[in-house]
Amino acid sequence: MTFVYVSGRRCLDFVGTLKWRQSARQELLTDPELLSDWAVQAGMLDAGIDVSDDDFAAAIALREAIYRTVIARLEHGRPKPADVDLLNDYGSHPPLTPRLERNGTARREGTAAQLLASLAADLLDLLAGDDIDRVKGCAHEGCTRLYVDSSRAKNRHWCGMGTCGNKAKVRAFRQRQRAAESTIS
Ligand SMILES: [Zn+2]
C-alpha cells in the first residue's frame, strides 16, 4: 500500500491513517506490518521493523489519543487526562535516532517502541510551538485529515491538491457547467 503524506507533520500524517472519521471510516493500518511500511514511507526508518500485536494495538491507541488531543486544542477544549498521561508517557521514551556508521553514512533505524515515542514527541513539539495555530481540518466534505497550513496567506483549504483539492475543483467545475446549461435552456 502507498500512503499519503500531506499534513506537514508526522503525527498528523499518522492520524490520517484512519480516513473519513465521521462517516464511512476507512482504516489504512489493518495489519502490524503496515505500521512498519507507513514509517518507512514516511522516511522515519530506512527498512521495515518488527511490529508485535501489542506494539500495533499501542500504536492505534496512541494515534487516537493524538487525534483527540489535537481536536480538543482546535476546539479550545482540554484534552482527556488519560490522553495527557499516555502522550507524556510515550513522549518520555527514547525516540528513533539515526545511527552513524564507521564509513560516514547514517541509517535511520529503531524499534516500534521508539517509533511510537517519536510520534508522541512530534505531537508534543507541535503543541509547544506556533504551528499548532496553523493546524486545520480538510474542508472537503467527509475528509478528516489534519494538516499544518504553511501557506503565507493561511488560505489552504484541502489536505492535498492530489487528494481532496482536485475533487473539490471538479465538483465546482461541474456545478458551474450545470448552472451554465440551465441558463441556456
Ligand atoms: Zn482532504
Q: Which residues surround ligand 1, an ion (CB under 5 A)?
A: 138, 140, 143, 145, 159, 164
pTM of whole model > 0.85? Answer: yes
The answer on pLDDT for 119 being more than 90 is yes
The answer on pLDDT for 7 being more than 90 is yes
**Residues 2-31: what's their mean pLDDT?**
95
> Whole-angstrom Cα distance, residue 170 to residue 50?
42
Residue 158 CA, ligand 1 centroid: distance in Å: 5
Q: Are 48 and 36 in contact (CB under 8 A)?
A: yes
pLDDT top residue among 173 and 157: 157
Residue 30 CA, ligand 1 centroid: distance in Å: 21
Sign of CA dihedral 114, 1, 42, 154: negative
The answer on pLDDT for 110 being more than 70 is yes
The pLDDT tens digits for 56-90 are 999 999 999 999 999 999 999 999 999 999 999 99
Residue 100 CA, ligand 1 centroid: distance in Å: 38
Residue 139 CA, ligand 1 centroid: distance in Å: 7
